Amino acid sequence: MTASKSSRARNARIAAQASANRASAAKGGTAVKNGSAARNGGATANGQARTAAVRNGAAPRPARGAQTPVIVADPPRGGPAVWLQVATFVLALAGLGVSIYLTIAHFTESTLAGCSESGLVNCTKVTTSPQSYVFGIPVAVLGLAFFLFAVAIMSPWAWQATRREIHLLRIASLVVGIGFVLYLIYAELFIIGSICLYCTSVHAITFVLFVLTAIAAAAWGLVPGAAWKSRPARQSD
């Protein structure tokens, strides 16, 4: 009788322990399910929040460890090639020097040094002819004014300028200058019948400046000093 009671008590304890274990397992499964649901719900809420931020125009924060692209602007281009800037500036200075000498010789009525006074080359005949005046203004003075402007417009600072008007003025002045040179060459050869070496040097300088300016416009555009500003910024990796 005593052994039977002990066996029943032991079985009862085993059954109670098994019931407790089942209850504990059931609670754990519920907690796991609740935790998964909470995590999934949180991820969904975060995703919806990021989507709403993108729609509202706010930039989403980059993920941890992601690299933000850096905007790198291309370096500015300072106008045409340096050799062209220097060459045009030096030529303009040379033309200004010759024009100053011709203007001084005109008003002092002095003979030009090293220039012949007979035959095809006759500087005095050219500089004292009626064609040495245009609208009552000595051609030497007009040349002086032109090259004063050319020195300024052909300087490296003007080549690197970003204002469109400066570059258009350069082209316009050279077009007018080469037209005037063609008229003077026609007057020397067909009206006066003689040429002046100093005048011819001014004509040659004007022609070279015209050619170099045309090359710059063809290669670097009408506004070479500002071309870099219109180029969009690029992203670095």
pTM strictly above 0.85: no
- Average pLDDT rounded to a whole number, residues 13-36: 57
Q: Out of 8-22, 82-96, 128-142, 207-221, which region has the weakest mean confidence (pLDDT)?
A: 8-22
- Residues 79-109: pLDDT tens digits? 789 999 999 999 999 999 999 999 999 999 8
Flag whether pLDDT at 1 surpasses 80.
no
Tell me if 92 sits within 8 A of 143, measured CB to CB: no
- What whole-number distance in Å separates Cα of residue 166 and Cα of residue 46? 57
Flag whether pLDDT at 39 surpasses 90.
no
- What whole-number distance in Å separates Cα of residue 198 and Cα of residue 24? 114
DSSP annotation string for 209-228: HHHHHHHHHHHH-SSGGGGG
Q: What are phi and psi of 21, to 5 degrees?
A: -65, -40
